[in-house]
């Protein structure tokens, strides 16, 4: 399966500890994931083999549920 880029808005992310916790949770779920976080914009871009639903579950379990995706 090819990695896909997923973008998330994380309204509860506010500090460096949040960034570390989010990165750690995503890397635990997919060690090969590329994670790029913009704390000021409260966004995370994740390049992962995992489906979006699995990444949402990981983020929610870590305490940073993503905002619903706008369509």
Strand (E) positions, the chain?
4-9, 34-38, 43-48
The structural architecture, per CATH, of the domain 4-61 is 2-Layer Sandwich (3.30)
For the chain, what are the domain ranges? Answer: 4-61
Looking at residue 68, its pLDDT comes to 86
Q: pTM (2 decimals)?
A: 0.90
Alpha-carbon span 56 to 40, nearest angstrom: 20
Looking at residue 71, its pLDDT comes to 39
Alpha-carbon span 12 to 54, nearest angstrom: 19
Looking at residue 61, its pLDDT comes to 97
Looking at residue 4, its pLDDT comes to 87
> If residue 55 lies in a helix (H) or strand (E), which one and from where to where?
helix 52-61
**Which regions of the chain are under pLDDT 50?**
71
């Amino acid at each position: 399966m090819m990695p896909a880029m997923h973008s998330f808005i994380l309204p509860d992310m506010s500090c460096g500890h949040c960034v570390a916790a989010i990165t750690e949770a995503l890397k635990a779920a997919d060690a090969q994931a590329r994670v790029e976080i913009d704390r000021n914009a409260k966004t995370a871009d994740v390049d992962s083999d995992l489906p979006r639903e699995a990444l949402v579950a990981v983020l929610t379990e870590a305490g940073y549920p993503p905002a619903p995706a706008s369509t």
